[in-house]
C-alpha cells in the first residue's frame, strides 16, 4: 500500500481529532489574534523552557518569550508542524484546554503512524508522517490565521 493511502487512512481514523478540524471548528470560531513565526522559527527542535524570566518556547536556536505555559504549549504544536501563521485565542482561559486537544491530536497522529505502518521501514513511516504534516500545514494555511488584532464590538448607545 502506498504512503498516501496510509496517510489518508490515518486522517480518517483521527476523525474529529484531526488537528486542522480542531483548528477550524474550535479555534477559529473564537475571537483570535494572529501569530506569525519567522521563517527561521519554522524549522528546528521545539522545546518549552522555564527560565527566571518566565516561559520560553525554543525553536532551533531562537527563543520566544511566552506569557504562560499554556500559550507555549499551544504555540509549540504549530511550531512542530512548521506553520508560519496561526490564530491564537484572545481569551487566555481557553488556551490551556485547546493546547490539551492539539497536543492530544498530535501524539495520537504519531502513534497511529507507528501502529498502522509497523511492518514498514523507518523511512516509509517518515514519509507517511511527512505527508500528514504537509496536509495539516496546507489545511491550516487555507483556514487562515485570523485578524492581526482581535475585534472588539462596541455597543452604541
pLDDT tens string 28-70 = 999 998 998 886 555 678 999 998 888 999 998 889 999 999 9
**Other Cβ atoms closer than 10 A to 109:** 21
Chain-centre distance for alpha carbon 25? 14
Distances, alpha carbon 156 to alpha carbons 50, 84, 150, in Å? 44, 37, 19
Q: 98, 46 in Cβ contact below 8 A?
A: no
Confidence at residue 1, expressed as pLDDT on a 0 to 100 scale? 82
Return all residues near 81 (Cβ < 8 A) that are at least 6 apart. Answer: 19, 133, 136, 137, 140
58-111 per-position pLDDT tens digit: 998 889 999 999 999 999 999 999 998 999 998 999 999 999 999 999 999 999
Q: What is the pLDDT of residue 61?
A: 86
Contact 80, 46 (CB under 8 A): yes
- Which residues sit opposite 54 in a β-bridge? 51
> What pLDDT is recorded for position 6?
92
Predicted local distance difference test score (pLDDT) of residue 42: 57
* Predicted local distance difference test score (pLDDT) of residue 129: 95
Q: Is the pLDDT of residue 152 over 80?
A: no
**Rounded CA gap, 132 and 19, in Å?**
10
Amino acid at each position: 500500500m502506498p504512503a498516501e493511502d496510509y496517510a489518508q487512512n490515518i486522517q480518517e481514523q483521527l476523525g474529529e481529532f484531526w488537528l486542522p478540524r480542531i483548528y477550524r471548528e474550535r479555534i477559529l470560531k473564537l475571537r483570535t489574534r494572529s501569530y506569525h513565526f519567522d521563517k527561521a522559527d519554522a524549522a528546528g527542535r521545539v522545546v518549552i523552557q522555564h527560565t527566571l524570566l518566565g516561559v520560553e518556547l525554543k525553536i532551533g536556536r531562537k527563543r520566544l518569550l511566552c506569557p504562560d505555559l499554556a500559550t507555549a504549549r499551544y504555540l509549540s504544536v504549530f511550531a512542530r508542524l512548521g506553520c508560519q501563521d496561526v490564530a491564537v485565542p484572545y481569551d487566555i482561559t481557553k488556551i490551556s484546554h485547546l493546547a490539551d486537544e492539539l497536543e492530544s491530536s498530535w501524539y495520537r497522529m504519531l502513534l497511529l503512524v507507528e501502529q498502522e505502518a509497523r511492518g514498514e521501514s523507518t523511512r516509509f513511516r517518515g514519509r507517511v508522517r511527512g505527508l500528514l504534516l504537509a496536509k495539516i500545514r496546507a489545511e491550516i494555511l487555507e483556514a487562515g490565521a485570523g485578524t492581526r488584532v482581535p475585534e472588539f464590538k462596541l455597543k452604541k448607545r
